[in-house]
């Protein structure tokens, strides 16, 4: 699986270079570019050289964010809030291409490293917050898995579908073990995933709450952030579950209670939701309906794509484009803003809500 993922990233890099070399990012805009795009990020922090960093795809540097905002402005595009993006999406005539910036989970580095860059560019942004992270009750299980494998020379687990065992002495062995175990657990029930990673973290002496404390902003920081200029706070469910893996009453509670809790804690209306993980296996038509019923004005997925006029009728299933830590280059950014990769990915469909 590791070699497959590596091949996939090499293919993406090659495609971005081909688009740049042919100038397709410019001449293809009329075919592939929508009215705007919602970009999504997670961690923003200075580069650290690490041989084993399986979650690096979720991490961009402040310098790349700075270059991203400069390129967007340089192309004559507008950077807008999510509320403004929805207004522009509903207008009968398209205006200038717009970009909305979103950050998932509520990481400390978003305030320490991203916010100064955003403020320097006068760029509005949305922070999607999981209350369970703010109060240290939810789990950053993907980071737990990384930290556990980093600490252990060998991984051994008893799983419902059979045992898992791998040597994890070298960085290469750790990468292979992480990929194999991650995707095996992702395919099954979330309860199995959480239990297995909790077991592994226990073996490695990794404390879940301490990891969340290290990475995520607490309530007091969020309260000071509430109402700040150009900052919108949205909900990211109560505990960050893959909603589609759970019964409807659990998914409904996760969505509705996150809105209510954030509004109570911050004294602000919470209008927008981001589905955790956000792929079709984590959020689908059932979740879109639940978000609408909970009173959210919009909800965003991680299904890749730009925003087109028909999305005005699907505001609870909006696509986003991830800024991937493995592709922090101008050619990648230009390709993503052109819309061409998604014309291929979505097989010509502008709206993908099934």
pLDDT tens for the 354 residues of the chain, in order:
444 556 566 667 777 777 777 887 777 777 889 999 999 999 999 999 889 999 999 999 999 999 999 999 999 999 999 999 999 999 988 899 999 999 999 999 999 999 999 999 999 999 999 999 999 999 999 999 999 999 999 999 999 999 999 999 999 999 999 999 999 999 999 999 999 999 999 999 999 999 999 999 999 999 999 999 999 999 999 999 999 999 999 999 999 999 999 999 999 999 999 999 999 999 999 999 999 999 999 999 999 999 999 999 999 999 999 999 999 999 999 999 999 998 888 888 889 888
> What string of DSSP letters covers 101-152?
EEEEE-BHHIIIIIHHHHHHTT--EEEEE-HHHHTT-S--HHHHHHHHHHH-
Which residues does residue 165 pair with via DSSP β-bridges, in sequence order? 156
Q: How would you classify residue 51: left for phi > 0, otherwise alpha for psi between -120 and 50, otherwise beta?
A: alpha
Cα 164 from Cα 342, distance rounded (Å)? 36
CA 77 to chain centre: 22
3-state SS class at 60:
strand
Judge residue 132's burial from the number of C-beta atoms within 10 Å of its C-beta, 0-12 exposed, 13-18 middle, 19 or more buried.
buried
The pTM of this model reads: 0.95
3-state SS class at 156:
strand
Cα 72 from Cα 32, distance rounded (Å)? 17
Q: In terms of Cα–Cα distance, which of 272, 273, 353, 271 is closest to 305?
A: 353
């Amino acid at each position: 699986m590791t070699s497959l993922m590596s091949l996939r990233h090499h293919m993406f890099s090659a495609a971005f270079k081909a688009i740049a070399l042919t100038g397709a990012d410019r001449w293809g805009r009329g075919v592939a570019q929508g009215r705007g795009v919602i970009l999504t990020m997670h961690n923003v922090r200075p580069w650290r050289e690490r041989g084993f960093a399986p979650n690096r795809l979720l991490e961009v540097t402040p310098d790349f964010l700075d270059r991203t905002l400069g390129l967007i402005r340089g192309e004559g595009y507008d950077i807008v809030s999510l509320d403004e993006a929805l207004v522009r999406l509903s207008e009968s005539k398209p205006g200038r291409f717009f970009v909305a910036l979103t950050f998932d989970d509520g990481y400390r580095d978003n305030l320490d490293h991203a916010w100064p860059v955003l403020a320097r560019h006068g760029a509005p942004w949305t922070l999607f917050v999981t209350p369970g992270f703010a109060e240290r009750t939810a789990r950053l299980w993907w980071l737990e898995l990384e930290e556990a494998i980093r600490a252990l020379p060998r991984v051994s687990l008893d799983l419902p579908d059979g045992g898992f065992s791998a040597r994890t002495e070298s960085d290469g062995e750790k990468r292979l073990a992480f990929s194999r175990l991650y995707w095996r657990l992702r395919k099954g029930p979330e309860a199995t995933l959480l239990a297995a990673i909790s077991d592994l973290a226990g073996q490695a002496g990794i404390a879940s709450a301490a990891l969340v404390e290290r990475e995520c902003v607490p309530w007091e920081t969020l309260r000071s952030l509430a109402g700040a200029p150009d900052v919108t706070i949205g909900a990211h469910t109560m505990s960050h579950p893959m909603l589609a893996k759970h019964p409807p009453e659990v998914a409904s509670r996760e969505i509705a209670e996150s809105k209510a809790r954030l509004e109570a804690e911050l004294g602000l209306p919470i209008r927008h939701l981001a589905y955790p993980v956000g792929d079709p296996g984590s959020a689908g038509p059932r979740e879109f309906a639940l978000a609408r019923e909970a009173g959210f004005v919009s909800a965003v997925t991680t299904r890749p794509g730009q925003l087109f006029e028909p999305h005005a009728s699907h505001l609870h299933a909006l696509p986003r484009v991830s800024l991937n830590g493995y592709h922090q280059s101008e050619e990648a950014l230009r390709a993503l803003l052109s819309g061409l990769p998604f014309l291929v990915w979505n097989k010509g469909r502008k709206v993908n809500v099934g």
